[in-house]
Amino acid sequence: MAGEGRGARPDQPGLGARGAEGLRPSGLHHEVYLGDPRRTALEKLKTVVRQPVERLG
């Protein structure tokens, strides 16, 4: 189900750099899909992206 060929959605913003907050990515992100892409309209699909971070410096 997850990642069934739809790829990145053009209406979703990318993960921005968190340098201004003193953080940087530290590892692979994890995506949680909230909805079934086979039965839900594209504009109603939601994804939670969890990105581990570490403090700069």
Q: pLDDT digits over 36-52, tens only?
A: 989 999 889 998 989 89
Condensed to tens digits (0 to 9), the pLDDT of residues 10-39 reads 555 555 555 667 888 899 989 999 999 899
pTM for this model (two decimals): 0.53
Q: What is the largest CA-CA distance in the chain?
A: 46
| Per-residue pLDDT at 4 exceeds 50 | no
Q: Which helix (H) or strand (E) holds 54?
A: strand 53-55
